[in-house]
Structure 1
Amino acid sequence: MLLPTTEQLPQSDAIDALSPHAAAEAMLGGHQAALDAIRAALPALVEGAKAMAAAIRAERSLIYIAAGSSGLMALADACELPGTFGIPAGRIQIHMAGGIPTDGAMPGNTEDDTQAAEVAAQNVHKGDAVIVLSASGSTPYAVAAALSAKAKGASIIAIANNPNTELLNLADIAICLQTPPEVIAGSTRLGAGSAQKVALNMMSSLMGIALGHVYKGQMVNVIADNAKLQKRAAGMIKSITGVSDSVAEAALAQSGGEIKSAILVALGCPINAATDLLAAHDGHLGPCINSLNQDINV
Structure 2
Amino acid sequence: MSTDFDALTTEAYRPELAEIDRRSTLDIARAMNAEDALVPAAVGAELPRIAAAIDAAAARMSRGGRLFYLGAGTAGRLGVLDASECPPTFNTDPGQVVGLIAGGPGAFVTAVEGAEDSALLAKADLDAQGLTAGDVVLGVSASGRTPYAVGAVEYARALGALTIGVSCNADSPLAAAAEHGIEVVVGPELIAGSTRLKAGTAQKLVLNMISTITMIKLGKTYGNLMVDVRASNEKLRARSRRIVHLATGAPDEVIEAALTETGGEVKNAILTILGNVDAPTAGRLLTESGGHLRAALAAAHG
**TM-score, length-normalised on structure 1?**
0.93
Which of 34, 49, 56 is matched with 2:39 structurally? 34
State the SS of the aligned residue for 1:223: coil
Q: Deviation at 1:107?
A: 3.1
Give the letter for the 1:183 counterpart.
L
Which of 136, 143, 150 is matched with 1:143 structurally? 150
Contact residue 260 and residue 285 of structure 1 kept, 8 A: yes
Could you tell me how far apart the structure 1 residues matched to 2:120 and 2:17 are?
41
Closer/same/farther in 2, CA of residues 286 and 120 from structure 1, 3 Å limit: same
**1:285 matched residue in structure 2:** 293
Could you tell me how far apart the structure 1 residues matched to 2:26 and 2:16 are?
15
Identity %: 37
**2:86 matched residue in structure 1:** 81
Which segment drifts farther, 93-102 or 77-86? 93-102
Contact residue 12 and residue 188 of structure 2 kept, 8 A: yes
Q: Deviation at 1:119?
A: 0.7
Which of 38, 48, 52 is matched with 2:57 structurally? 52
**TM-score, length-normalised on structure 2?**
0.92
Q: Deviation at 1:198?
A: 0.8
Q: Deviation at 1:178?
A: 0.8
Q: Deviation at 1:202?
A: 1.3
Contact residue 101 and residue 107 of structure 2 kept, 8 A: no
State the SS of the aligned residue for 2:56: helix
Unaligned 5+ runs, structure 1:
none
Q: Deviation at 1:175?
A: 0.9
Give the letter for the 2:153 counterpart.
A
**2:8 matched residue in structure 1:** 4
Give the letter for the 2:31 counterpart.
A
State the SS of the aligned residue for 1:212: coil
Which of 65, 69, 72 is matched with 1:64 structurally? 69
Could you tell me how far apart the structure 1 residues matched to 2:262 and 2:35 are?
47
Give the letter for the 1:111 counterpart.
E
Aligned residues: 294
Closer/same/farther in 2, CA of residues 103 and 82 from structure 1, 3 Å limit: closer
Q: Deviation at 1:102?
A: 6.6
Is the aligned partner of 1:200 residue 2:207?
yes
Contact residue 228 and residue 265 of structure 2 kept, 8 A: yes
Contact residue 138 and residue 165 of structure 1 kept, 8 A: yes
Per-residue deviation, residues 165-219 of structure 1 (Å, max 9, x unmatched): 1110111111111111001011000000000001100111111110111113110
State the SS of the aligned residue for 1:215: coil
Which of 242, 247, 259 is matched with 2:254 structurally? 247
Which of 273, 281, 284 is matched with 1:276 structurally? 284
Contact residue 221 and residue 228 of structure 2 kept, 8 A: yes
Which segment drifts farther, 236-245 or 169-178? 236-245
Q: Deviation at 1:11?
A: 6.4
Could you tell me how far apart the structure 2 residues matched to 1:250 and 1:196 are?
42
**1:233 matched residue in structure 2:** 240
Closer/same/farther in 2, CA of residues 291 and 12 from structure 1, 3 Å limit: farther
Contact residue 82 and residue 99 of structure 2 kept, 8 A: no
Could you tell me how far apart the structure 2 residues matched to 1:32 and 1:223 are?
34
Closer/same/farther in 2, CA of residues 104 and 291 from structure 1, 3 Å limit: closer
The 5-angstrom pairing of residues 136-175 of structure 1 reads 136-175=143-182
RMSD, aligned CA: 1.7
Which segment drifts farther, 6-15 or 55-64? 6-15
Unaligned 5+ runs, structure 2:
none
The 5-angstrom pairing of residues 107-118 of structure 1 reads 107-118=112-123
